[in-house]
């Protein structure tokens, strides 16, 4: 199995950057990319443990955001991990399929005027008139996402802000998780609900 993985994965060397740390033995899928959109408060903002297989896009929206992944964890291609003004913490031995999305923020204010300012400021940034998009994160709701050890998340699932997924839980394919998931349970659906207990 590992030899097959080596055939269609590339172990790429990233440019030295103290904003991201990837530990020994981790393989990056061809689609892996990362972006830090604002100055960060602590380095590294993205920390991936050892012996992982990681794909998808990692985006840090604001200086307080962090993305931390433990050891021996996999994330499928086409996934997206977006941290706003809070953290995304994924444990050890977590299996995440293709196209999984983590989104720990509303991304914009509920106030229409603030959303308009977000667009204006981002356009000024793209035009080179500003060094920062200057989105007002104090007006945007963001909450930590925590995924405990030994979790399995099926393809296309979405995990939203403020959710903790307990140890050993399973999230069914295409599920949308809006509330905490108890350890050793199976959840599925939109919104995800308990369909089975894995406890003996």
- Supply φ then ψ for residue 176, to 5 degrees: -120, 110
Closest listed residue to residue 53, CA positions, set 27, 31, 79: 27
Angle made by CA atoms 178, 42, 57, in degrees to the nearest 5: 50
Whether residue 46 contacts residue 26, with contact meaning beta carbons closer than 8 Å, is answered with no
- Supply φ then ψ for residue 178, to 5 degrees: -115, -10
Give 8's DSSP letter: H
Angle made by CA atoms 166, 169, 172, in degrees to the nearest 5: 130
**Known catalytic membership, residue 116:** no
> Which residues share a beta bridge with 170?
152, 186
H runs (alpha helix) in the chain: 2-8, 112-126
Q: Which of 93, 108, 116, 179 is catalytic?
A: 108
- Helix (H/G/I), strand (E/B), else coil: 138: helix
Q: Please identify every residue annotated as catalytic.
A: 108
């Amino acid at each position: 199995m590992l030899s097959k993985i080596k055939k269609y994965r590339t172990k790429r060397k990233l440019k030295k950057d103290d904003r991201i740390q990837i530990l020994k033995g981790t393989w990056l899928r061809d689609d892996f990319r990362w972006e830090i959109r604002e100055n960060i408060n602590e380095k590294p903002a993205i920390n991936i443990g050892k012996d992982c297989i990681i794909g998808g896009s990692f985006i840090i929206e604001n200086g307080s955001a962090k993305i931390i992944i433990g050891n021996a964890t996999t994330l499928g291609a086409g996934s997206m991990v977006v941290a706003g003004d809070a953290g995304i913490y994924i444990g050890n031995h977590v299996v995440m399929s293709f196209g999984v999305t983590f989104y720990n923020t509303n991304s914009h204010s509920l106030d229409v005027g603030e959303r308009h300012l977000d667009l204006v400021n981002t356009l000024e940034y793209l035009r080179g008139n500003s060094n920062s998009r200057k989105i007002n994160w104090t007006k945007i709701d963001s909450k930590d996402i925590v995924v405990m050890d030994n979790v399995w998340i099926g393809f296309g699932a979405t995990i939203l802000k403020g959710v903790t997924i307990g140890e050993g839980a399973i999230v069914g394919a295409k599920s949308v998780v809006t509330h905490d998931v108890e350890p050793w349970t199976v959840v599925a659906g939109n919104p995800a609900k308990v369909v089975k207990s894995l406890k003996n």
